[in-house]
Copies of this chain bind each other. A is one copy, B any other.
């Protein structure tokens, strides 16, 4: 789930002078590097690569050249079901590491696309690999990040395999909310950066079903929605929707 807390207060590190809110530096800090290691790591980061809305960060099948962490913005990753069918595998927000789908083969399994104008920081994968070999703490943190992705995917399999439409939508909103909270952003009132179509694709539903689920949750006063603005009015009730069968 790659939840990395980035708050302005908790960032006395001079490394951030270069690029405030840099997710890569924050990620490195999580790895508990020494000052020396941290400097070595920081040197290799390529900061502030901007991406326009709808621009590809990478395409499925492409060789893995760099790992990225979103600095600002929002993206989606999708696998291609080689018959026009595709499946969004995740929505990515600031602090999330991008590129783990390519570790297995060296080629990306997913395409990753910006859902609005965004910026990312990156590191050449060759550099990254060398650093993980040289710095055990970094290696361990990277393995942990991969492990988090595996755990997240298993949760997603539970959602897709065992939940009803409204439960999926409620779980989706709560998940977004928690991730916003972990970044110090408002957790009860936020803007959905993706279309209903995207949400539906991600949750294994049609866009109409997503829309109806939103409307129904709003009828029950659990949320309020106006277009892409969401307010979570009763998180506990949403939790109940997720947990109680039918």
Contacts and interface: CB of A to CB of B under 8 A. Distances in A.
A105 B150 contact: no
Nearest to A160: B160
Interface string A140-177: 10111011111101111110111100000000000000
Contact of A150 (B83, B149, B162): B149
A19 interface: no
Contact of A89 (B140, B149, B154, B244): B154
A161 B103 contact: no
Interface string A187-221: 00000000000000111100000000000000000
A10 interface: no
Contacts of A70: none
Give the one of A87, A89, A244 with max B CB within 10 A.
A87
A44 interface: no
A155 to B, nearest CB: 7
A143 B142 contact: yes
Contacts of A83: 243-245
A66 interface: no
A63 to B, nearest CB: 14
B244 A147 contact: no
Given A201-B161, A203-B161, A105 B151 contact: yes
Interface of A: 79, 81-87, 89, 100-105, 109-110, 129, 132-133, 136, 139-140, 142-144, 146-151, 153-158, 160-163, 201-204, 243-245
